[in-house]
Structure 1
Amino acid sequence: MFNELALQIEKHLAQGSNFAIAQVVDRIAPSSGKIGDKAIILETGELIGWIGGGCVRGIVIKEALDVIRNKRYRRVRISPQGGTRETASFKEYVMSCQSKGTLEIMIEPVIPQPELIVVGKSNIARKLVQMASVADFRVSVMASNADVQMFPSVNSLYYRVDFKVFKNFSNTYIIITTQGEDDESSVKKALETSAKYVGFVASRKKAEDIKSYLKAEGITDKRIGQLRSPVGLDINAKLASEVAISILADVIEDFRKEQTNGVSCCGSTSAAATEPMVNDKFVEDYYINPVCNVPVSKKTRSMF
C-alpha cells in the first residue's frame, strides 16, 4: 500500500495537481483505521488509500477539500463524544459509525510550485522567465520565433499561443508580455481558460483599451474584472528586470496567501466554505448528514 501511495503522490506532483495527505495519528479502539494509515485526497474528491470507512471517509474528504482550498493543515478528531472545539487548524466530529471508536487524523495540503506561462518574447518576458526558474517555478513560454537561446531555463517552449496544450489550470499563472504583438488575441485566449490569475503587462491606457476589446468580443464583465493589468506590485519599477521582479513578487504573494474562504478569526465557517468543490464548481447533488455533518450523495445515499 505504501509503495502504491508513493507512486500516486509522485504521479500527481508531476502533473502539478493539488492534493492532500491524510494520516491517522491517534486511535482508541475499536476503529477500522489504525495509526499510520494514510491516504491522498484529490481535488475531485477521490480518496486513494485507507484511513477508515463509514463516516470517517466522508469527513476526511470534506475536510481535505477545504485544506486544499485554504492551503493550511488541519487536525481532525472523530469520537463518540464529539465536541464543539473548532479552530482554523483543528475540528471535532461525532463518530456516528457503529464502531464507536476514536480517531485523530492529520490532513496536510500538497501544493506544487505553480506553473507560470509567459506569453511573448519581450525583454520583460526573458527576465521574468529567468527569475521564475530560479524560484523553482515550472515555466512555459509561448511566442512565435522564440528559441532556447532566448529562454535557456524554460521547461517548455511553444511557438504559438494555444492554451489547449495545458490540461490543468488550477495552479497556473499566465502573464502576457507581448507588448504590441497580438496583445488582444493573446489576452482573450488566456481569459478563456480557467486560470484564476491572468496578468497583462501594459500601461493603464492600453489596459483599458484591451478591456473594451474583450467586452466587444463577448468576454463577461466578471472575467474581464479578473484581468490584472497593469500587473505586478507597485515598486516604482523602471528597468525590465525590476518589472519582472514586481510581477513575480505579486505572483508569489498570491500563491502563498492564506485563502480563508469564510473562516473567521474565531474559526466559524460559512456554508459556502463547507461545500465540496470539484473542478472549481460546487457539488450540488449532495446533502449534509445532520448527525455527523458530512456530505452524502443524493443519488446513492453514500458518503461523498
Structure 2
Amino acid sequence: MMGELIETARQLDERKEPYVWVTVVRRVRPSSATVGDKALVTANGELMGFVGGHCTRDLVVDQAKKCLITGESSLLLVTAHPPTQRMEGVTVLPMTCASEGTVELFLEPRHVEPVLLIVGNSPIAHALAELAPRFAFVPHRISLEASMDSGSAEEPVGKLRHQMGFRPGQTVYAVVATMGLYDVEAVMAAASIPLRYLGLVTSPRRWQAMHAELVEAGASNRLLEFVSAPAGLDIGAQGPQEIALSILAQIVERRRRGTGMAWDGKPVPGAEVKEHADASMRPHATAVNESESAERNREAPHEVIDPVCGMTVDLSKTPHRLEWNGTEYGFCCAGCRQRFARDPERYLSHA
C-alpha cells in the first residue's frame, strides 16, 4: 500500500496537481490506526491509504479540502474526549465510533500555491504580476493584446479563456486590470472558471455604469455581487505599485479569514458569442475577420476616431474593431463597439 501511495504522489508531483499527505502522529487505543500510518487525499476528495476507520474518513477528507484552500498544514485531533481547554493550532473534532478511540493526524498540502489570474496589459497588471510571488501567489497574466497577432476571428471572451489553461481543483483569484479597454469581456471570461475572488480595477462611477453592460452580456446579480469593485483596500494608494499592493492586501484578507465567498465558475450561456450577436443585429454590420483585414490594416491610417465617443484610437492595436459597409471602424472599448453595432447610422450621421 505504501508503495502505491508513493507512486501516486510522484505522478501528482510531476503534474504539479494539489493533494494532501495525512500522517498519524498519535493514537490512543482502541483506535485502529497506528503511528506512522499515511494516506493521500486528492483535490477531488479521494482518500487513498489508511489513517483510521470509516468514522474518521469523512472528517479527514473535509479537513484536507480546507488545507487545499488555505495552503496551510494543520493538526487534526479526532477524539471522544475533547480537551477542556483550546489547543492552539489544533482542530478538534468528535470521534463518532463506538470504540471511542483517539487519533491525531498531521495534514500537509502539496502544490497548493493559489493562482492569481491577471487580465490586462496595464501598469497595474504588470505590478500585480511582479508582486504576487512575494505573497505566495502564482501570477498568470493574460490579455487581448497578446492575441492580436494570432489572426483569429474568435470573440474576445473566447480569446481570453483560451489563455487560461488551469487544472481542475486549482484555487484561483482574479483581477481585471484592463483600465477600461475590455472590462466587460475580461469579467465574463474570468467568471467562466471557479474563483475565490474577482476584483475589477475601476472607479466607483465607472463600476455603476458597467452594471448595465455586464447584465446585457449575461452577468447574473450573484456575479455582480461577487465582484469587488473598485478592487483593493482603501489605503490611499497612489501609482501602480501601491494600487497593486492594496489589491493583494484585499486578496490576502479574503484568503486568510476564510469568508467562504466563492464563484462556482458556471459559464454564462452564449457569453462567448454575445458580442457577435450584437453586431449581427444590423444586416450590414459584421465583426471584422482579423486575418482577412490584417493586410488592409497595414496600409490604412493607424489613428482613427471612435465614431461613438470621438476618442482617437490606434486601429492596429485596439481589440475593438467592426466592419460596416466595407469600412473598418475602431473603438476605445467594448461598450462603444456594441453601441455602434446596434445602430451604426445613428453615429455616422453625426460624423
TM-score by length of 1: 0.68
| Compared CA separation, residues 180 and 258, structure 1 to 2 (3 A) | closer
Residues 202 and 230 in structure 1, CA contact (< 8 A), matched pair in contact too: yes
1:179 aligns with 2:170: no
Q: Which moved more, 1:226-235 or 1:7-16?
A: 7-16
Amino acid at match of 2:121: K
Amino acid at match of 1:251: I
Amino acid at match of 1:102: G
Q: Which moved more, 1:125-134 or 1:161-170?
A: 161-170
Which position in structure 2 is the counterpart of 1:293?
none
Which position in structure 2 is the counterpart of 1:118?
118
1:1-304 aligned at under 5 Å gives the runs: 1-2=1-2, 4-9=4-9, 12=12, 19-28=19-28, 32-65=32-65, 68=68, 73-78=74-79, 82-83=80-81, 89-96=91-98, 100=99, 102-108=101-107, 110=109, 112-146=112-146, 160-162=159-161, 165-168=165-168, 170-255=170-255, 257-259=256-258
Q: Which has the higher contact order (CA 8 A, sep 6+)?
A: 1
Unaligned runs of 5+ in 1: 148-158, 262-278, 281-304
Residues 31 and 103 in structure 2, CA contact (< 8 A), matched pair in contact too: no
1:26 aligned counterpart, secondary structure: strand
1:162 aligned counterpart, secondary structure: helix
Unaligned runs of 5+ in 2: 148-157, 266-351
The superposition leaves residues 40-92 of structure 1 with CA deviations (integer Å, 9 ceiling, x where unpaired) of 223432102221343343443344445556767342334xxx34658672123
Instruction: Write 1 or 2 for the structure with the bigger share of helix.
Output: 2
| Distance in 2 of aligned mates of 1:120 and 1:65 | 31
RMSD over equivalenced CA pairs, Å: 3.3
Q: Which moved more, 1:183-192 or 1:66-75?
A: 66-75
Shift of 1:202: 0.6
Residues 172 and 194 in structure 2, CA contact (< 8 A), matched pair in contact too: no
Shift of 1:117: 1.1
| Compared CA separation, residues 101 and 52, structure 1 to 2 (3 A) | same
| Compared CA separation, residues 236 and 143, structure 1 to 2 (3 A) | same
Shift of 1:143: 1.6
TM-score by length of 2: 0.59
Shift of 1:207: 1.2
| Distance in 1 of aligned mates of 2:179 and 2:259 | 36
| Distance in 2 of aligned mates of 1:58 and 1:187 | 36
